[in-house]
Amino acid sequence: MSAWRKALLDWIVPAALGGAATLGFAPYNLYPLTLLAVLGLIALWRGHGPGRCAWRGFVFASVHFATGVYWIYVAMHGHAGVPAVLAVLSVGGLSAYLALYPALAGALAGLMRRLPLTLWAMLAVPAAWTIGEWLRGWVFTGFDWLALGYIGTEIPVNGLAPIIGVHGLSFLIMAAAGTVYMLYVGRLPARLVALVLILVTPVLLWCLPPAVHWTHPAGPAMKATVIQGNTPQSEKWDPATLAPTMAAYERMTETSDADLVVWPEVAIPAFAQRVATPLRRISRQAAARDQLVLAGLLRLDPDGQRYYNSLLALGAGRGEYHKRHLVPFGEYVPGPEWLGSLLSGMGAPVGGLAVGERVQPLFYKGDIALGASICFEDVFSRNILTQMPRANILVNVTNDAWFAGSNGPPQHLQIARMRAAEMGRPMVRAANTGISANIGFTGRVFARTDEDVRTRLTGRVVPREGMTPFVRYGETPVVAGSGTIVLLGLLGAAVGGLRRRGQNRVADRRRALAGRV
């Protein structure tokens, strides 16, 4: 292979495909480009060993993640004041780390390269990709952003989300790309199989999943209002903004006749104890209207030693929820104390938030249970599953002002839509500067706000009960199935390799004997 061809196939093409893959996610939603990108990656992997496949997967994913999560640079440099060099290095380092998992998938695909094309393209590669993606969501607390299945929110395959979840959709999307690859390079039997699948699958996806509603209404519709205060991140923690921010939320709440009012994450930039007087007034007035208000605030422990990112119930409800899945190196620093001091000295913003309990009581409005998540928590299905099937409505509060002007807020909304579809529950989503939304139980957005506007979003929300297959079984079937396929594929490849070596030795002996004769 010439140096130019090697550079083209090992660097340029994987990098271009990785950048194209990002365009299938929000806000671009050009999902055919993502399908073509992973199809190209499969083609780059076919017939090559684990080392080359791992490298091409790494280059592909490094560019994919760098272009997909560049909002981290916006948050660090644009809003947190981190030096540009450190912000660039952080995005680059994170992208390189995240790329290790597609590299692992590539290595596994290379090890299984001698499997029959049909098995390799339709089962082995999708399973390897799914295992890598699942691991990415768990190791070091996980970073499950840009899972391939999220592009399913824009295509009919999303009807399978309540059954197999986002990682199951990732498997199917990779399998679809592998099927198209078979159609072009496979032998006649493989091409016929691919052609039948390509013709039949869209019909099945169109006819079957939308007709299956795994959950049903749990009561009459509630009127829900989201208050989007639109406090710019650059002004939020200025002490001069506290009083007008508190007054704005109080005014917009007391003029609402909704059954449920939701404020964004840390809507009021203060500890709840500091604004106890207006909170008591809001709670008293909301109770008189039989209204439940969920207010995002910081909550200080009575001993004054720990503080939480919290959601507090006011009015016709009681209770509080503390964020339990914190953002590493943002809300807390994993590891020794000196690491936090070092990062702080370098200009990086590091928090000292305490972690809430893994399982916490739900909020209630009458008999209707509401399951809460704060910001980053809804990226992980497992966080929401702890509240199921008790929760009838999901509530997510966030402050995506950190990522304003980037692809971060639309991507986060796309993730919220997937959680609603997986659980078969509607979601009320409140974001400080947007995008707030009223999301149906199938992941459909009924109404949403624009970014960078102060507004209220009011709509009807029908609580639901029952269990989707995903709620009942979680990720276990998809992960166990993918793991089994990979193990069998590796075993089959190893046995095939031993058989070929044996055949080669026999052939060598025969040639040696023939030479003596």
Residue 161 lies in a domain: yes
Q: Is 269 helix (H, G, I), strand (E, B) or coil?
A: coil
37 lies in the same domain as 165:
yes
264 lies in the same domain as 201:
no
252 lies in the same domain as 353:
no
Residue 514 lies in a domain: no
Q: Is 133 a catalytic residue?
A: no
- Say how far apart CA 240 and CA 399 lie, in whole Å: 20
Q: Name every residue whose Cβ is closer than 8 Å to that of residue 254 and which is 6 or more positions away in sequence.
A: 282, 285, 286
Tokens of 40: 């190209």
- Say how far apart CA 471 and CA 493 lie, in whole Å: 35
What pLDDT does residue 197 have? 79
- Say how far apart CA 392 and CA 500 lie, in whole Å: 58
95 lies in the same domain as 236:
no
Q: Is 265 a catalytic residue?
A: yes
Q: How far is CA 436 from CA 72, 110, 150, 248, in A?
A: 20, 43, 19, 17
Residue 63 lies in a domain: yes
CATH number of the domain residue 411 falls in: 3.60.110.10
245 lies in the same domain as 318:
yes
160 lies in the same domain as 281:
no
Q: At what angle do helices 100-111 and 125-136 cross, to 10 degrees?
A: 150
487 lies in the same domain as 338:
no
**CB of 115 within 8 A of CB of 489?**
yes
Q: Name residue 297's beta-bridge partners.
A: 310
Question: Which sign, positive or negative, has the C-alpha torsion 466, 147, 359, 260?
Answer: negative
112 lies in the same domain as 28:
yes
Residue 515 lies in a domain: no
Per-residue pLDDT of the chain (517 residues; tens, 9 = 90+): 677 888 888 999 999 999 999 999 999 999 999 999 999 999 999 999 999 999 999 999 999 999 999 999 998 888 778 899 999 999 999 999 999 999 999 999 999 999 999 899 999 999 999 999 999 999 988 999 999 999 999 887 788 999 999 999 999 999 999 999 988 887 777 778 778 877 777 767 666 555 578 999 999 999 999 999 998 888 888 888 999 999 999 999 999 999 999 999 999 988 999 999 999 999 999 999 999 999 999 998 877 778 899 999 999 988 899 999 887 756 655 544 433 443 344 333 445 788 889 889 999 999 999 999 999 899 999 999 999 999 999 999 999 888 888 999 999 999 999 999 999 999 999 999 989 999 999 999 999 999 999 999 999 999 999 999 999 999 999 999 999 999 999 998 888 666 666 566 655 566 666 665 5
Residue 257 CA, chain-centre distance (Å), reads 34
What pLDDT does residue 344 have? 42
207 lies in the same domain as 221:
no
489 lies in the same domain as 352:
no
Select which of 53, 320, 323, 331 is catalytic: 323
**CB of 16 within 8 A of CB of 70?**
no
Q: Phi and psi at residue 59, in whole multiples of 5°?
A: -65, -45
Residue 60 lies in a domain: yes
What pLDDT does residue 484 have? 98
Residue type, 508: D
Q: How far is CA 95 from CA 9, 54, 60, 211, in A?
A: 20, 15, 11, 39
**CB of 163 within 8 A of CB of 211?**
no
331 lies in the same domain as 319:
no
Question: The pTM is what?
Answer: 0.91
Tokens of 401: 């002002």
Q: Is 323 a catalytic residue?
A: yes
What pLDDT does residue 188 have? 76
**Residue 362 burial by Cβ neighbours in a 10 Å radius (0-12, 13-18, 19+):** middle
- Say how far apart CA 366 and CA 358 lie, in whole Å: 24
**Residue 501 burial by Cβ neighbours in a 10 Å radius (0-12, 13-18, 19+):** exposed
Residue 516 lies in a domain: no
Burial 9-21 (b: 16+ CB within 10 A, else e): bbeebbbbbbbbb
- Say how far apart CA 303 and CA 458 lie, in whole Å: 38
338 lies in the same domain as 271:
no
**CB of 445 within 8 A of CB of 419?**
no
Residue 121 lies in a domain: yes
Residue 513 lies in a domain: no
- Say how far apart CA 431 and CA 443 lie, in whole Å: 17
**CB of 348 within 8 A of CB of 82?**
yes
Pairing type for strands 320-322 and 363-365 reads: unpaired
Select which of 53, 133, 236, 265 is catalytic: 265
Q: Can you give the length of the chain in residues?
A: 517
- Domain hosting 158: range is 3-212+475-502
Q: Phi and psi at residue 51, in whole multiples of 5°?
A: -65, -50
Query: What residue ranges in 168-232 does DSSP mark as E strands?
Result: 216-217, 222-228
Pairing type for strands 363-365 and 368-374 reads: antiparallel
Count of the separate structural domains present in the chain: 3
What pLDDT does residue 127 have? 98
**CB of 258 within 8 A of CB of 290?**
no
Select which of 133, 365, 375, 422 is catalytic: 375
Closest by CA position to 133, among listed 493, 420, 486, 375: 486
**CB of 266 within 8 A of CB of 399?**
yes
Query: What residue ranges in 186-235 does DSSP mark as E strands?
Result: 216-217, 222-228
What strand order describes the sheet that includes 292-300? Answer: 320-322, 307-315, 292-300, 260-262, 222-228, 455-461
